[in-house]
Amino acid sequence: MRVAVVTGAARGIGAATVRRLVADGCHVLAVDWCAGADAPYPQGTEADLASVVSSAPGQVIGHVADVRNIAAIRAATDRAIQTWGRLDVAVAAAGILTGGTSLWDAPASDLALAWSVNAAGVWHLAAAAVPAMLAGPDPAGCRFVAVVSAADHTGLFHLAAYNASKHAALGIVRGLAADLAGTGVTASAVSPGSTRTAMLDRTAELYGVTTDELVAHQLLARPLAPEEVAASIAHCCSPLGGAALNGGVVRADGGFR
């Protein structure tokens, strides 16, 4: 039995990742802040999280926690360990989009929110999960994976705060991988392209375009399904597949250009 903690798990890529890891035999603590309407655009809800849990009763536990709060994330990882006795996988899939204006016109709150969720949220999960992995029965099979974005390597119009946070998240993963050298535990990232999620809808709204226009920037010529991105994440989480990806980023972006 392998045990995973997944943040941003109530919907989208996070929820698809929970389901894929369950299919691969993992027990999963599914974590989400369940902010609903209390955010710049609608987020997952407790009902969404309950739906994820009900898809695999006994194998998934829902846990409401905010990745911006390191104490809350430590409590989440502690719950997984107390429930199942170990921790093998941590997936930082929580993310939020801010932007819609040039950097100099953007409110400070844009950077604060993007940074606290997209960058600090990755840091917090790593800080909480990695010590448990190192102390567990099989460090060589343990995997930390962060979901980043095409914004981790490309400047995107009117999304400077989001860009900064995703560049930072990838930097955190690379620094973590260096810190883990020789331990067997690995850290990697997955960079999705336009995926059929609420964030894609929000991006189209900020730009005043359709999602079809956004999707035209990837060679696949259609939006990725969350399940397709989750398959790449699960590969990074696997004991065999994840090892060679240590310190790297998987561009699961459908040919973004």
Q: CA of 257: how far to CAs of 76, 156, 168, 251, in Å?
A: 37, 11, 21, 12
Distance of alpha carbon 231 from alpha carbon 221, whole angstroms: 19
Distance of alpha carbon 47 from alpha carbon 148, whole angstroms: 26
6 has which bridge partners? 30, 91
Active site residue 162: yes
Distance of alpha carbon 96 from alpha carbon 66, whole angstroms: 12
- Residue 212 CB partners (closer than 8 Å, separation 6+): none
Three-state SS at 42? coil
Distance of alpha carbon 110 from alpha carbon 226, whole angstroms: 25
Please say whether the beta carbons of 89 and 22 come within 8 A. Answer: no
Catalytic choice (33, 84, 162, 256): 162
Known catalytic residues? 162
